[in-house]
Amino acid sequence: MRNNILNRLCAVLIAVLVGSSAMAQVQVTSKIDSLQMLIGQQTKIRLEVTLNKSQKAIFPEFNDSVPVAEGIELVEKEKMDTAYLNDGTRMRLTQNYIITAWDSALYSIPEMVVKVGNQEYKTNRLVLKVLSIPVDTLHPEKFFGPKPTMVVPFSWDDWAGIFYVSLLLIVVVVIIAYLFINFKQNKPIIRRIKVEPKIPAHQKAMAQIQSIKNVDASVDSKDYFTKLTDVIREYIKERYNFSALEMTSGEIIAKLTEMHDDKALDELRDLFMTADLVKFAKYEVVIDENDKNLVNAVKYINETKIEETLEDTKPKVIIVEETKTKKSKYFMLAAMVVLAALSAAGLCYIIYIIYNLYN
């Protein structure tokens, strides 16, 4: 009988000790930053719960229907802060409530209830004194009515960035639209090439002969006749379309005879013969022969030239159509993507500047 009583007493004592140790594992405290404040000011209630890492705490929720206290308004519930203790086995949870009040009074903030597992824990009561704003009733002349709305003067510096970015944005949008239309329609690329008319062979030859006239043949006859025959060879090459520059004088005469072009051929033969004698046989010519050969060259060019029509002397415009290749399409698509990104960035910049101007 005595043993049964002792066993029961031990069991009760163990239960009490276990329960008290479990309660000691959870600590709940609350404090307020300011014990007093003016109407409309804000203060903060700090609710701290220390518990084991494996435990979960449920903090009180406040709203219009469930106020912190009568006459006290909850402004904001901040994000909960968690700090780990004792090598991570325990943790401290801190929940901040920002509150305000709009009537001057002494407020009693009731106990807050935190639930950990199946157990509820209550905090201590808090007191908050809200003071009214002191008014100097002895000097009513110091009270002023509402001030009129101030008109902010226009400043170009504030809008310059928006203006220039907007202009750039319009240009970019037009380019995107142009690229998109061309990309969708798949029209060929049209190029207009202006071709200047080719200088006729006889005009080119006559211009070169004019420069040869200024050369003194008596000083260097070989150089004089070399230049003169080179002009004629170049003219024959362009006029008759064969390689006169690479042929001998006899081969040129034979080729022209074969082509049945006998115009001024005797004069040309005399010119080539005199030039060959000067260049290879060191033949000395007199002034009259130089003039005669120059006249023969001019006569041959005038008798064999092809007259150009007025239409042939006008510049021509050649229109070339090219189909778009895959490479050009990819380039257009990439250009549109880049320009679209620039447009989005410009639009965001404009919105950001306007927001800062009005806020």
Task: Please give, one letter per residue, the 3-state secondary structure of 321-351.
Answer: EECCCHHHHHHHHHHHHHHHHHHHHHHHHHH
Task: Give the CB-side neighbour count of residue 313, counting CA atoms within 13 A.
Answer: 8
In a domain, 293, yes or no: yes
19-48 pLDDT, tens digit each:
444 444 889 999 999 899 999 999 999 999
Asked whether residue 190 falls in the same domain as residue 328, the answer is yes
Pairing mode, strands 119-122 and 113-116:
antiparallel
Asked whether residue 211 falls in the same domain as residue 352, the answer is no
In a domain, 11, yes or no: no
Asked whether residue 184 falls in the same domain as residue 222, the answer is no
Separation between Cα atoms, residue 114 and residue 116, nearest integer Å? 7
Final residue before a domain boundary, out of 116, 131, 146? 131
In a domain, 138, yes or no: no
Asked whether residue 99 falls in the same domain as residue 60, the answer is yes
Asked whether residue 189 falls in the same domain as residue 208, the answer is no
Q: What is the CATH number of the domain that holds 88?
A: 2.60.40.740
Q: Could you tell me the pTM of the whole model?
A: 0.38
Separation between Cα atoms, residue 67 and residue 74, nearest integer Å? 7
User: What is the identity of the amino acid at 81?
Assistant: D
In a domain, 33, yes or no: yes
Separation between Cα atoms, residue 300 and residue 281, nearest integer Å? 25
> Could you tell me the pLDDT band of residue 12, with boundaries at 50, 70 and 90?
very low
Asked whether residue 332 falls in the same domain as residue 246, the answer is no
Separation between Cα atoms, residue 234 and residue 242, nearest integer Å? 10
Q: Which domain holds residue 275?
A: 202-304
Asked whether residue 184 falls in the same domain as residue 215, the answer is no
In a domain, 4, yes or no: no
Separation between Cα atoms, residue 136 and residue 184, nearest integer Å? 77
In a domain, 344, yes or no: yes
Separation between Cα atoms, residue 260 and residue 114, nearest integer Å? 123
Asked whether residue 34 falls in the same domain as residue 81, the answer is yes
289-346 pLDDT, tens digit each:
777 888 888 888 888 888 766 555 566 666 665 555 667 778 888 888 999 999 999 8
Asked whether residue 168 falls in the same domain as residue 260, the answer is no
127-183 pLDDT, tens digit each:
999 998 887 777 777 777 777 887 777 778 878 888 888 999 999 999 998 888 877
Tokens at residue 322, please?
Answer: 């090219």
Residue in this structure with the two tokens 């993507």, named with its chain if needed? 337
In a domain, 139, yes or no: no
Q: Has residue 17 got a pLDDT over 80?
A: no
Asked whether residue 116 falls in the same domain as residue 171, the answer is no
The number of distinct structural domains making up the chain is: 3
